[in-house]
Amino acid sequence: MRRKLISPCLIWTLLAFSAVGLAQEGTGNKQNPRLPAQSGVWINSPPISNEMLAGKAAVLFFFEESGSGVDWPRLLPQAGKFEGTPVMFIGVNSGTARPQLEAYLRKNKVTWPVICDSDRSFERQFDIAISPDNTKQARLLMPDGSFKNGDFNNLEGSAVDASRDAKWKVDPANLPPVLQSAWLAIEFGKYPDAAQTLKKNQFGKGDIKEWAMKLNQVVMDDLGRQLEDAKKSLDEDKKWDAFKRYSVIPNRFKGFTVPPEVTSNLKELATDDAIKGEQAALKQLDLAIQAASRSPSARKGALKQLQKLIDEHPGTEAAGEAQKLIEQAAM
């Protein structure tokens, strides 16, 4: 039977795990908390990483949706004042199943990126315990990558504090309005959202053409760095690491011209038996994580899935991450 390549999104998830350590995400690294890499825990947004926000700021608003709740009609307009500035508002809700949280967000017209922290692993990184008696907290991700406490009763003031030293990669002064959305997408690493606009306007005239080419170069510079890292892993015979790095490139740079070496190296690496085993284990890990996020009652079954993964694919990277999750659950 012919094996299918694992999806680039799933590879990106594990690459993020590898870069920061799932144990840190789960058990809590108080010095350097990490935004979760799993796509299944994000609502209203693809995963957002600490690296994507480098040089910018974020207000993390931890909230309890029951009881007295949150005054969203007051908070949402406050956050709206920062639209077009290098600061992002991210909601965090702990202990609630995703379907219930999604319904709550729709009802309250919350369009922020929201982390569904159903197993409370994210809040534990901050020594926070959101409950009906502690319904709100705020933490600030600063432009230098550090975190500090925010004021949940004054999110607007917290955002001003967090964004004081925040900067854009490309100063938008004199940016043509037609390129506004593309520029913003590039600033937050969402390159595919900018691809068509840049292609169209690189053949324009005057300032529009110049700006389109300037923004395109930002993307190409990042692509160059990604290719360099992947090639280095390949040259050092770190095949699994190389495979992961090459796999994220087509998805991250969708809509842009990617060198043919990415496809050819992926095809060659995919024939390696060790990589096939890593892929199968990764798929099982993703299924277990998705199952655990559905409801508290599903977590027992998810733990069995994780143990099965360890038994069937010992020695794989995903098996190591599964063991960490099991140990975390036991705590």
Is residue 23 scored above 60 in pLDDT? no
- Residue 329: what pLDDT? 77
Distances in Å between the Cα of 281 and the Cα atoms of 7, 40, 193, 276 are 13, 18, 31, 9
Q: How many residues are recorded in the chain?
A: 331
Strands (E), the chain: 42-43, 57-63, 87-94, 114-117, 136-141, 147-149
Q: What is the pTM of this model?
A: 0.69
Distances in Å between the Cα of 282 and the Cα atoms of 3, 133, 319 are 14, 38, 8
CA-nearest of 233, 303, 234, 267 to 19 is: 233
Distances in Å between the Cα of 166 and the Cα atoms of 87, 141, 160, 182 are 7, 10, 10, 20
Structural domains of the chain sorted by starting position, each given as residue range(s) with its CATH number in brackets: 33-162 (3.40.30.10), 177-271 (no CATH)
- Residue 331: what pLDDT? 67
Residue in the block written with tokens 């899935």: 305
**Long-range Cβ pairs for the range 95-98 (8 Å, 24+):** 95/120, 95/130, 95/296, 96/65, 97/293, 97/294, 97/295, 97/296, 98/40, 98/41, 98/43, 98/293, 98/294
Q: What is the pLDDT of residues 77-105, one digit of tens each?
A: 999 999 888 999 999 998 888 999 999 99
Mean pLDDT of 260-280: 95
Q: What is the pLDDT of residues 48-82, one digit of tens each?
A: 889 889 899 999 999 998 766 789 999 999 999 99
Q: What is the pLDDT of residues 204-229, one digit of tens each?
A: 889 999 999 999 999 999 999 999 99
Mean pLDDT of 176-202: 93
- Residue 68: what pLDDT? 65
Going by pLDDT thresholds of 50, 70 and 90, the confidence category of residue 293 is: low
Q: Compute the distance between CA of residue 251 and CA of residue 133 in angstroms, rounded to an integer.
A: 42
Q: What percent of the chain has pLDDT over 70?
A: 89
Distance from chain centroid for Cα 253: 16
Query: Residue 58 phi/psi, 5° resolution?
Result: -145, 145
User: In the structure, how many helices (H) and strands (E) does the chain have?
Assistant: 14, 6
